[in-house]
Structure 1
Amino acid sequence: MISTVMLWVTSFTGGTLVLTANLPMGVIANGSPTEFTASLAKSQNLFLSIAKQYKSDWQKTLLSINSFKSEVINRGLASNQNTSTPPPSTTLEAKETQFCASVPENIPAQPHLQNVTNFRQMTFTQVSVPKLDLSPPTVVRSLQGFFNVINNPVEPNGSYDYSPVLIVKRNSYNYEVWVNNSFFARVPDQITANALQKRLQQLVKSQAVQPTELKPGLVDGIPSLMIGNQLIFAIDKKLSNELSRSGDILAMEWTNNLRIALHAKPLTLVQGQMEMYGLQSSKRKLTGIASWYGGYFHGRLTANGERYDQDDLTVAHRSLPFNTFLKVTNLENKKSVIVRVNDRGPYISPRSLDLSRTAARCLGSEHTGLVTYQAVILQQNAPQMTLKPSQPKTEDMAHSKGELLVSNF
């Protein structure tokens, strides 16, 4: 009996110890309600303190992860700054040959960026990568569309044309003609664009065409595009006025654009002028100071009876015969241009040449005003080209030998 009682007491004591071992310390052996409530409040405060500590640690961990991501991204951008290439653009931009273009008088200085990493790096708080559809059909369609746009200039409506000579309409007064996906010319109306397209299609399809024979010329005094002794297209005064450009310069620019489209080396400005006017150098040279005159005299009569056009390549001299051609070189920058004497002047010493505005642009002296020059007097060594052969009488035979009959291409 006694042993049974002792066994029961021992079991009760062990069970109590096991139960209290799993309770919070503030609950064990505190019998009064007040002390029990205080113990619970103390335990709650301890629990909240631990939770706040965990929250602070977790926030620090997240901040470290974001900082690590930002550092990795910034390092990637810095390492790829010299090797990254911009995405291909499908916008058609005309890259055209242009002689004697207007240059702003004051060009704002641009900051020179030697190293992009000198700037403050960007901080990224969130990076999202769009999901790409890389299925084979999608990739094939994308590549087909990309190469169609690159290889075939199109009108803004999105229609495709695979002709070697294309017309791109920018607006009602701006039509571009492209040859073999290379810019050729800009014209102000659809009729002129269609005429150019028709003539150039014949040229491109011809098996006998040699691109190196492309040259500018004067046919009946009109600036023209030539292939050998055949006329491709003439730029009359009306067209050059609508484009506000010298017809002579337009003929040389369009010739070069066509040579580039047909994979031939372009001509320099002086080479084009020598071909156009049929000139050769002589041993007679001039030196001195050249000025230029422009807007105030534009449209007025010159000494030889012409209307002065500041966009033509002309010059005034006190005594040289009218229609004398001079190759004028700016001794400061070595730029050259060929001009034709059609006026008298200048009458302010020590100036000896008065250039047109466009001629001054070609020499780079539009803004400086005065420039030291050297000029070579040129001589004509080729007959005048014409589409309208004269029927000479016996006394006009000498004059007729100075004409070269050309034909339409």
Structure 2
Amino acid sequence: MPTLFDPIQAGDLHLANRIAMAPLTRNRSPRAVPRDITATYYAQRASAGLLITEGTAITHQGQGYSDVPGLYGTEQLDGWKRVTQAVHARGGKIVTQLWHVGRVSHTALQPEGGAPVAPSAVRAQSQTYLVDAASGQGQFVPTSEPRALAAEELPDIVHAFAAAARNAVQTAGFDGVEIHGANGYLLDQFLKDGANQRKDDYGGGIANRVRLMVEVTRAVVDAIGGGRVGIRLSPVTPANDIHDSDPQPLFEHLARELAPLGLAFIHVIEGATGGPREVEGRPFDYAAFKNAYRSAGGRGAWMVNNGYDRDMAQEALASGRADIVAFGRAFISNPDLVERLRRGAPLNAWDQTTFYGGGEHGYIDYPALEQAPA
């Protein structure tokens, strides 16, 4: 019966334990370049079996928030190389999350002040984070009106994901990548009928709406090998104003399409991202979702996320519902979360005012267990 602290093979990734650090946006990379404190932050948490970085924009167009990192420029890749070297020096494994936000952006963040892109010109009733260049202060503001992507633009999106994956592994030194297909960002927007109103081959029925996500995943697998690729999915989260009228058949179909690609892991957000594990009016059978993947030959590790504590995580592993458990906010304030879970030690409380933007405070100054007050 596996425990959180047993090793696991996830595709090509040999992980020392079954605890993953979930991606956490921290807005501390001006000009989309990871800084030295970014290397310190991830290295402090390298005892996790797998570190998944904060969402990292695959292109300038894919950026949706100020001071998030990118993968499309030399300076950005050099910054990430320092991060991966620091993590590997601590014996850790790290993958980067490939991110295109789609409509969850603002004209101030887009090339030449253009409109954000989306499957359809449907504005997200959501917010994004902008930092004022003069004052350095950040604030949340409504997203901008998007424009619908033309069909002829979609191959460039697919290529950008693949190029970012190749850059991440071959240049920046990541052990692999996680495709961000969740939380109401571009690939999730194409997937769900609340955002996708297209009438072409990428809209309408389920087979059409999953098309872009599958094309992207296949291209990334072709670029770096399926054993280095994971994907994050959120069947029912309302994050960023996303919804689907019938998610169960949609995600079971997607699972069957992903199964033959030889992925390292499937990362599933259960319920509302950072919120309730059961979303009112949005029932979902996660066991059936997993079974659809396994029945179609999918062998990637099954990673679960959202509100897990030590006991819940152990139960998920022991019951076979999951192979890996991802923890998010607990890793913000507990760089040594793995050891704290091992000992059953208390966790540091996090300071939510330092989540987004800033410097070392609330980022790399949380005490490890040995330094915590008795």
| TM-score when normalising by structure 2 | 0.25
User: Which gives a bigger RCO, structure 1 or 2 (Cα 8 Å, sep 6+)?
Assistant: 2
The structure that is strand-richer by fraction is: 1
| TM-score when normalising by structure 1 | 0.23
Q: Radius of gyration: which is bigger? A: 1
